[in-house]
Amino acid sequence: MTFPRKKKLGLMLAAAGLLLGAFVGLAFWSARRAFERARASLADENELRFVTRRLTPVLPAGVEPLGTSAGFKDAAFFHDRLYLGGPAKLLAYSTDGKIVARYCVGLELPSAPMVALAAGMAADATEPELYVATAGAGLLALGEQGLRQVIPEKETLRRLTAVLALPNGRLLLGTERNGVLVYDGKHLALFHPALAAVRVTALAGDESSFWVGTIDQGVLHWHAGEVDRFGEA
């Protein structure tokens, strides 16, 4: 069986078109994969590695906490309770002023002083939590489901000084020497290069405008993507 010359030419052109389409599709797929790999690599470079783990305190038999001076550093309302946190303990008071819960550093809590408290709800959380910044053990989160710990891989990032829970599900974390970090429950990263090398003492505000107290750079005001500095002349 023979085909007319025009039909042969048409079949050849159709086959060439299919091959060209397959080649273009393969090239596009390869380029897209390369782009995705590059974007993932860039994200990995900007993000900070961390691990999250559940804490199940097991008190040694016969161990009883000794009464020490409180020296509270911060306070927060959470689930109709007033929580007071200090270097050695976290106390929860009911509305009638009675202590209803007690957490001691080195027993129920990791062996690192507590420095700041904030109540909020991270983007991946299923319930509100009480966030506790520590000077050496990263971030603690206390909720109805128990206690969990967020630990940056880099040891210096575990030394927190402040925590601010934002309405959009993000947490701002002040550090001793590494500026302001942002945590959304799944990712941990430096908030912005302008706030990356700041010795933070306090955080206040919301997602559109917040203030950063520092040891040696006065007070910084973040708003609309800019940083204003206020200090002694």
Render pLDDT for 87-121 as a digit per residue (tens, 0 to 9): 999 999 999 999 999 999 988 899 999 999 999 99
């069986």: which residue's tokens? 1
Render pLDDT for 129-170 as a digit per residue (tens, 0 to 9): 999 999 999 999 999 888 999 999 999 999 999 999 999 999
The answer to whether the predicted template modeling score (pTM) of the entire model surpasses 0.75 is: yes
Q: Tokens in use for 105?
A: 């550093």
Task: Tell me how far CA of residue 46 lies from CA of 139, 151, 187, in angstroms.
Answer: 20, 17, 10
pLDDT at 231: 85
Q: Tokens in use for 159?
A: 């030394």
User: Which amino acid, one-letter code, is at 224?
Assistant: A
